[in-house]
Structure 1
Amino acid sequence: MFPKTGNKLHSESGEAGLAIMISQALIAELGASHRATKTAMKWTGASERTVKHWLAATHVPKGDHLVSLARHSDEVLRAILVAAGRGHLRIALDLGTVRLKLLELASLLEGG
């Protein structure tokens, strides 16, 4: 058997933390089931293998995939804000969620 040679295609150490954060965010939002993989595939158009790498924290979503994940997942958006050193902006997401819940509650109270 020949020894493996060539370049490593794994993420660099700076990206390892982000990979873990994105993985944890996806699992918190979707769970760790096969359905979670299918949902992330639908959101991004990425392959099953690629999404499984994200969930396992071995790779970081890049470019359009990362934007698509943030568009669909508040947890991923929060992780990106924390990784960018802008964690204080997370409160805006929470306030938006609270506002929507209050509007839903007001609608239920008016109808009931």
Structure 2
Amino acid sequence: MSLSDKDRKLRAGGGNKFPIDPAADTVASFASVIADALRRDFGTSPAKVKHIARLTGANARTVQNWLYGRNGPSGAGLVVLMRHSDAVMQAVLELADRYEIQHAAKSEKLRGELRSLITMLLEYLGPE
């Protein structure tokens, strides 16, 4: 099939260009930040892809794309990852500029750890 002279050109020779979409940079940074967080939390073991796939119900290829930063997880997958990974939770809060929530979450985690350490210490010391 050949194109006639009246057919539309596939490429524009010149003229106005589309404005740069600010969301395009956000999508790329989202994928790379989530990939870094996943690698921090799930390590470098070869089984991490299968483990994350089982947690989220996603395909192994999809999880590999998340880990390489090619794509980011969808909303449902992201929520599951946030449930199981502190690094992903912190990364999402940082991307949303919600530092006060991140600080509160860290404080609550530290309080819980301190409470358990005090309980262990009291059990170790025994009654006096």
TM normalised by structure 1 equals: 0.82
Q: Which has the larger radius of gyration?
A: 2
Contact preservation (8 Å) 1:32, 1:55:
no
Q: Which runs of 5+ in 1 are unaligned?
A: 1-11
Q: 2:94 matched to which residue of 1?
A: 82
Q: Is 1:13 equivalent to 2:25 in the alignment? A: yes
Deviations 1:60-82 (A, max 9, x none): 10011011001111110111111
More helix by share: 1
Q: 1:34 matched to which residue of 2?
A: 46
- Give the counterpart of 1:43 among 55, 70, 74: 55
How many residue pairs are counted as aligned between the two chains? 101
Shift of 1:46: 0.8
Q: Which runs of 5+ in 2 are unaligned?
A: 1-23
SS in 1 for 2:53: helix
CA distance in 1, matches of 2:46, 2:109: 27
CA distance in 2, matches of 1:104, 1:42: 30
Q: 1:72 matched to which residue of 2?
A: 84
Shift of 1:36: 1.8
CA distance in 2, matches of 1:40, 1:71: 12
> Higher relative CO (CA 8 A, sep ≥ 6), structure 1 or 2?
1
Q: 1:107 matched to which residue of 2?
A: 119
TM normalised by structure 2 equals: 0.73
RMSD of equivalent CA atoms: 1.3
Moved over 4 A (4+): none
CA distance in 1, matches of 2:105, 2:55: 20
CA distance in 1, matches of 2:25, 2:110: 36
Percent same amino acid among aligned pairs? 35
